Structure 1
Amino acid sequence: MPSDVPPLTLPSSSGPPPPGSRTVTTDDGVPLHVEFDGVGQAGDGAGPVTVVFSHGFTARLAEWELQRTALRERARLVLWDQRGHGRSGWTPLTKATIDRTGRDLGQVLDAVAPTGPVVLAGHSMGGMSILALARQRPELFGDRVVGAFLLATSAGGLVDTGPLGFAVKVMRRLRLLPLYLRLLQLFAPSLERFRRRGTAVGRRAIRRLLFGRDDADPASVRLVQDLLEETPLPVTMAFYATFLEHDETAALEVLRRVPVTVVAATHDRLTPVGHGRRIAETIGAGADLVVVPGAGHSVNLTRTQIVDDALNALIDRVEAGLRKAG
């Protein structure tokens, strides 16, 4: 099955921000870029449901452009750039963690969606941020947060197996892992100065890591390459350590309070399909699992209709629950 992504040019992150954008400043002083769309836009909860989109690692809010188009007629949409990404500000290295991005998501909610029902949608690191928020502020779920959409993400154990997992275990045993991570961060600024973007080697790496068996047409690969290569290497290396330690399994208990949809791709090499299955199995009856055959990590850009349909179906479930409760 070929990719179903239509021809697409993602909005640029350079130049002035789009009209109606807002900056939310976190409690540690980092400015987060937030955009609005759909029913009500920047108004106070004018739409029946607010959907808050959290993007993946080294991406930015533009990765949700196709879902933004599909949903703007039925919901209020909030999209934000995670710290260090897109138009948002940078952070001290010690704050480049999933724990911190979960707190950032909570502060975005408090600032721009203080009332009304909210559905949280997260891809990859964005899904991890949702899980971190659920652990930190469980009181939000079932009250303000009434649904969660977890796309190509993981609750933990990303490097437990395979060659990387073995290497990490050896470095931990030898107590070399902190040194290794520190060296990555130390050399990242120098590597950034000599970095070449848009190379054929980079495209091959993107093709292998973010696409599946049969969803990688050249235009889609180049689109994702351009998007991910915008993020400077110091940002990439700073966040790298948090994925090695990521474990938000306990947060899945909180998500049992709300309808959840988990989308996993069979050929995802970054967050393999087993991670999505485990999330859905742990949550139980309240979780719908959508497995996309042949697709890879960039499933929201390459299997757009499947992802859009799954997200619309989740909103249908949420709205039905709200009508029943009301």
Structure 2
Amino acid sequence: MNSGHRRRIGIAGAVAGVGAAGVGAAVGARHLLVGRVRLRPDPDRGEPFGRLRGRPLAITADDGLPLHVETEGPDDAPLTIVFCHGYTLTQHTWHYQRRDLAGVPGVRLVFWDQRSHGRSGRSDLANATIDQTGADLYTVLRATVPRRGRVVLVGHSMGGMSILALAERHPELFGRQVAGVVLVNTSAGDLREMTLGLPLVLAKVLRPLAPGALRGLGRRAALVDRARGLGADLAFVVTRRMAFADKHVSPTVVDFLEQMIRACPIDVIAEFYPALMAHDKADALPVLAKVPVAVLTGGQDRLTPAVHGRRIAQALPDAELTEIEMAGHVLPLEYPGVVTGAVRRLVERVRAEPKEKSA
């Protein structure tokens, strides 16, 4: 098992709730915080976050919802890598992987926005489920992977859950077309035990209140989203505190993550929250055993604690488990080199295997 550094993230609702609470008294806190690190170099200051784009592809989900998909690389590439982002985020979560893996010979990159996220269409409430995002992933694969091509699936958080939902519904794809899987900060279930770093007793008291509180905020979506904008300065502080353990994290990266979360409407956060809490795809793990798997966890992850990644790896004896002790829930942005390296290693492993094994 590889080990590294560390960081952290909490639930998007915490950031949303900051703005929703109307804590305007914290205006200027962000500037004070950023001012403290102005004298230190910020290597990410010039990164074009949110501006890397591929070729758009129009795809329609099985319920008629438009899904926003972008591709890079040759359409007939023998290997496709499909990146699935997490709850309240967008395909730009994979900024560094997109930047550093573009142009790899024989590889096509596919990025998509989950339903109700980013540029994809808004889902009906009844379809705001992990089973449906798994069905959406199946639609994306059918539209982007050549019939005789192979694919590596990479999922962060809810994106990894979507991969497990796909495995549950379409086990025949694994070992035939799906040749490898990378799961980052994700879980196969039991998210009800999540504490967000709170004492266990307090977490048990607050946990049953969260769905109702989010639904209440969702019913006042326009008002809450305006308040979130007004509370952006404090949201920056909360995001930095909840998402990163490294005191020297780039404020540019913090800004980028906070803006992605803030752009996700509060009613979307409310709609998907029950699906995440009810998520249970442990029975799909044996399907993943058919292919090479890499599992990455953060030792300070408050949303999907490292124990969830360990459980997945324990169910897959041949999986590569990388636990970064000083890390949290956004490894693609926190430790992009670790994530990109895991993807590269898996791709090389897939390429080294006889095609018959994945046929």
Q: Same fold (TM over 0.5)?
A: yes
Offset, 1:317: 1.0
Question: For the Cα contact (< 8 Å) 1:265–1:291, is it kept in 2?
Answer: yes
Q: Which runs of 5+ in 2 are unaligned?
A: 8-41
2:94 pairs with 1:64: yes
**Partner Cα distance (1:79, 1:215) in 2:** 29
Which 4+ stretches in 1 moved above 6 angstroms?
A: 1-5
| Closer, same or farther: CA 301–179 of 1 in aligned 2, 3 Å | closer
User: Matches of residues 1-326 of structure 1 in structure 2 within 5 Å?
Assistant: 6-7=44-45, 8-11=47-50, 20-38=55-73, 40=74, 43=75, 46-74=76-104, 75-115=107-147, 116-162=149-195, 163=200, 166-167=204-205, 182-196=215-229, 199-214=232-247, 216-285=249-318, 287-322=319-354, 325=357
Cα deviation code 1:12-68 (max 9, x no counterpart) = 59xxxx573012111111100000113x0xx2xx22310000011111111112101
TM-score computed with the length of structure 1 as normaliser: 0.87
Higher normalized contact order (CA 8 Å, seq sep 6+, divided by chain length): 2
Measure the CA separation in 2 of the matches of 1:170 and 1:90. 27
User: 1:165, CA displacement in angstroms?
Assistant: 5.4
| Contact 2:6–2:324 (Cα < 8 Å) also in 1 | no
Change (3 A) 1:169 1:289: same
Distance 2:92 2:185 in 1: 17
Separation (CA, whole Å) in 1 of partners of 2:165 and 2:248: 30
Q: CA deviation at 1:246?
A: 0.8
Instruction: Specify the code of the residue in structure 2 equivalent to 1:53.
Output: F
Change (3 A) 1:200 1:170: closer
Give aligned-pair identity as a percent. Answer: 41
Structure 1 partner of 2:30? none
Change (3 A) 1:229 1:5: farther
CA shift at 1:78, angstroms? 0.6
The 1-side partners of 2:119 and 2:298 are apart by: 29
Partner of 2:34: none
How big is each residue's C-alpha offset from its partner over 1:143-197, in whole Å with a ceiling of 9 and x where there is no partner? 11110010111111112253575247767xxxxx876664343233432243326
Secondary structure at the residue paired with 1:32? strand
In structure 2, C-alpha distance between the alignment counterparts of 1:213 and 1:274, rounded to whole Å: 21
Normalised to the residue count of structure 2, the TM-score between the two structures is 0.80
Unpaired stretches in structure 1, ≥5 consecutive residues? 172-176
Q: Deviations over 1:73-93 (max 9, x none)?
A: 221101100001111000111
Cα deviation digits, residues 183-224 of structure 1 (max 9, x gap): 343233432243326723211221233223456332221121
CA distance, structure 2, for counterparts of residue 58 and residue 170 of structure 1 = 21
Secondary structure of the structure 1 residue equivalent to 2:352? helix
